[in-house]
Amino acid sequence: MTLDLKKIRNDFPILGRQLRPGVRLTYLDSTATAQKPLQVIEAMDEFYRKFNANIHRGVHTLAEESTALYEGARERIAKFINASSARQVIYTRNTTEAINLVAYSWARANLKQGDLVILTEMEHHSNLVPWHMLQAERGIELEFIPVTQDGLLDLDAYKTLLERQPKLVSFTHMSNVLGTINPAAEIVHLAHQAGSIALVDGAQSAPHLKVDMQALDADFYAFSAHKMCGPTGIGVLYGKTTLLETMPPFLGGGDMIREVKLRSFRANSLPHKFEAGTPAIAEAIGFGAAVDYLTSLGMDNIAAHEHEISEYAMERLEEIPGLKLFGPSADKKGGVASFILDGVHPHDVAQILDQDGIAVRAGHHCAQPLHEKFQIPATSRASFYLYNTKEEVDLLVKGIYKVKEMFG
């Protein structure tokens, strides 16, 4: 099925915004955060207007309705990723907190000095810093799967690293800089063969690809609502039940307890033992509406549309003299185009494009080591989602030529 772009774009009020007289928004920064459709905005608005109450402990009508909406969203998110049970879906604030939950709970209970954790050179800081912190605290060892010059992971080097019997392999499913879609199922399978567990950073893959926890077989999978048309402030850690049940609580307080005495406590059952305090109730309901929206369009259709836009963008950008793209060919990547322009700092590129309403990202994109790998301080990054059009790619190209003219 081909996506109905006119209908979809009408679902997103912000896409009709004029930033200044005669300057309409061209939003090409969905890798940072996606825009929100009316279906999500209205679901959250309706919650606050009709159902707002705290969840789980109340017996009055609003509390029961609120709880049903909150847990109903969890059920739909579980179905969206094909988890075997909603108990495996832990609400967190975002992907970063989900990865930290694994680092603070599972890793601190299971890793000791000298144990090896394998990461990759293309990781977001969220999947680097928690392990640096654990290394400083526990003396674990960190090794990294190299990135090749064409933006792919060196799987032969990975297999060699696995001979050292790591305890954990943690990697991004899709690079937020290069757009590279890593062979996640293969990486997980090889990790399991080596006796390791596997954590997948799905922040960039869950919004764009059909993800299936049964097929992927990851032990942990982390993702955020705000990158997939949902609200900010909520994400998910999926985990295998056997692991989650043996892990100690991450935070202590209300709702994560079954019983508290002055000198002891008993933790709640899954998923609640990892959800301390009043949660992001409206955001969870918005998250449920977001996965409903994506499901209605079909993740395979979204991926096909993004591939078409990305392929067109690569062709157009490669025509521009002095522009260098990073990452693999369009068939091996998602809708991300990171580039540098000869003689122009990426921040200048982004600022000049913004004068024409074109929103792109500039900087190291929370992936400084990857930029150091390619010996560049920063890149400009255009990213595409289900609501972007080829006409917007043309506006981007026209804007870059304007940048070139201004810088001679």
Q: What is the average pLDDT value for the chain, to the nearest integer?
A: 97
Q: How far apart are CA 185 and CA 138, in angstroms?
A: 29
Do residues 204 and 183 lie in contact, with contact meaning Cβ atoms separated by under 8 Å? no
- For residue 192, the model assigns a pLDDT of 98
Work out the percent of the chain whose per-residue pLDDT is above 90: 94
Q: Enumerate the active-site residues.
A: 366
Given this model, what pLDDT does residue 254 score?
A: 83
What was the pLDDT predicted at 386? 98
Q: Is the pLDDT of residue 57 over 90?
A: no
Rounded to two decimals, what is the model's pTM? 0.97
- Which residues make up the CATH 3.40.640.10 domain(s) of the chain? 41-296
Q: Cite the residue boundaries of each domain of the chain with CATH code 3.90.1150.10.
A: 5-30+298-406
Task: Find out if CATH 2.30.42.10 is the number for domain 41-296.
Answer: no
Work out the widest C-alpha separation in the chain, in whole angstroms. Answer: 72
pLDDT digits (tens, 9 = 90+) for 347-404: 999 999 999 999 999 999 999 999 999 999 999 999 999 999 999 999 999 999 999 9
User: In the Cβ-directed half-sphere of 255, how many Cα atoms lie within 13 Å?
Assistant: 18
Q: Is the CB of residue 197 less than 8 Å from the CB of residue 168? A: yes
Start-to-end CA span in the chain (Å): 45
Region 254-262 average pLDDT:
86
pLDDT tens for 214-246 read 999 999 999 999 999 999 999 999 999 999 999
Q: Using one digit for the tens of pLDDT, what is the confidence trace for 159-214? A: 999 999 999 999 999 999 999 999 999 999 999 999 999 999 999 999 999 999 99
Statement: residue 269 has pLDDT above 90: no
CATH top class, domain 5-30+298-406: alpha beta
Which pLDDT tens digit goes with each residue over 78-112?
999 999 999 999 999 999 999 999 999 999 999 99
